[in-house]
Amino acid sequence: MFIGWDWATETHDVSVMDDSGTRVDRWELAHTEQGIDATLKRLRRHGSPADLPVAIETSRGLVVDRLLAAGHPVVPVHPNAFHAMRPRWGASKAKTDAGDSRKLADYLRTDGHRLRRLVPTDPKTLELQALTRQRADHVEARIAAVNQLDAQLDQLWPGGKAVFADRDSDIALDFLDRYPTPQAAAKLTPAKLEAWCKRRGYPGRRSGKELIERMRSAPTAATRLGEAAVEILVRVQVRLVRGIRATICELDKAITEAVGTHPYAPLLATMPRIGKINLGQIIGEIGPILERAETCEQFIAETGVVPVTRASGKSHAVTFRFATNRRARLAVTVFADHSRHGSDWASKIYNDARARKKRHPHAARILARAWLRVIWACWRDGTCYDPVIHQASSKVSTRPETTLAV
CA 346 to chain centre: 24
Whether 119 is covered by a domain: the verdict is: no
Same domain, 133 and 107: no
Residues 298 and 116 sit within 8 Å (Cβ to Cβ): no
Q: Kindly report whether the global pTM for this prediction surpasses the value 0.85.
A: no
Whether 44 is covered by a domain: the verdict is: yes
Q: Which of 86, 114, 142 is the last residue of a domain?
A: 114
- Is a pLDDT exceeding 50 seen at residue 394? no
Same domain, 132 and 56: no
- Is a pLDDT exceeding 80 seen at residue 403? no
pLDDT range class, residue 89, cuts 50, 70, 90:
confident
Whether 178 is covered by a domain: the verdict is: yes
Same domain, 302 and 357: yes
pLDDT range class, residue 328, cuts 50, 70, 90:
very high
- Is a pLDDT exceeding 70 seen at residue 393? no
Whether 404 is covered by a domain: the verdict is: no
Q: Give the domain CATH number at 240.
A: 1.10.287
Same domain, 130 and 239: yes
> Mapping DSSP to helix (H, G, I), strand (E, B) and coil, where does residue 290 land?
helix
Beta-strand runs (E) in 54-209: 54-56, 74-76
Tell me the pLDDT tens digit for each residue of 176-197. Answer: 999 999 999 999 999 999 999 9
Whether 109 is covered by a domain: the verdict is: yes
pLDDT range class, residue 399, cuts 50, 70, 90:
very low
* Mean pLDDT to the nearest integer, 204-220: 90
pLDDT range class, residue 405, cuts 50, 70, 90:
very low
* Mean pLDDT to the nearest integer, 141-165: 93
Tell me what pLDDT residue 391 has. Answer: 63
Tell me what pLDDT residue 93 has. Answer: 67
Same domain, 238 and 190: yes
Residues 124 and 261 sit within 8 Å (Cβ to Cβ): yes
Q: Which of 59, 81, 114 is the last residue of a domain?
A: 114
Q: Give the domain CATH number at 20.
A: 3.30.420.40
- C-alpha 22/C-alpha 27 separation (Å) is 15
Tell me what pLDDT residue 170 has. Answer: 92
The letter for the amino acid at 240 is: L
Q: Range of 153's domain?
A: 126-256
Q: Which of 92, 114, 136 is the last residue of a domain?
A: 114
Same domain, 52 and 110: yes
Residues 5 and 101 sit within 8 Å (Cβ to Cβ): yes
- C-alpha 15/C-alpha 102 separation (Å) is 5
Same domain, 321 and 339: yes
Strand partners, 43: none
Class of residue 341 by CB neighbours under 10 A (exposed 0-12, middle 13-18, buried 19+) = exposed
Same domain, 78 and 142: no
- Is a pLDDT exceeding 80 seen at residue 395? no
179 closest CA partner among 201, 153, 204: 153
Residues 119 and 291 sit within 8 Å (Cβ to Cβ): yes
Angle at which helix 190-199 crosses helix 170-178, to 10 degrees, equals 130
Same domain, 275 and 207: no
Same domain, 164 and 144: yes
176 closest CA partner among 136, 231, 243: 231
93: left (phi over 0), alpha (psi -120 to 50) or beta: left
Same domain, 53 and 160: no
Same domain, 250 and 131: yes
- C-alpha 349/C-alpha 399 separation (Å) is 8
Q: How many domains does the chain have?
A: 3
- C-alpha 364/C-alpha 374 separation (Å) is 15
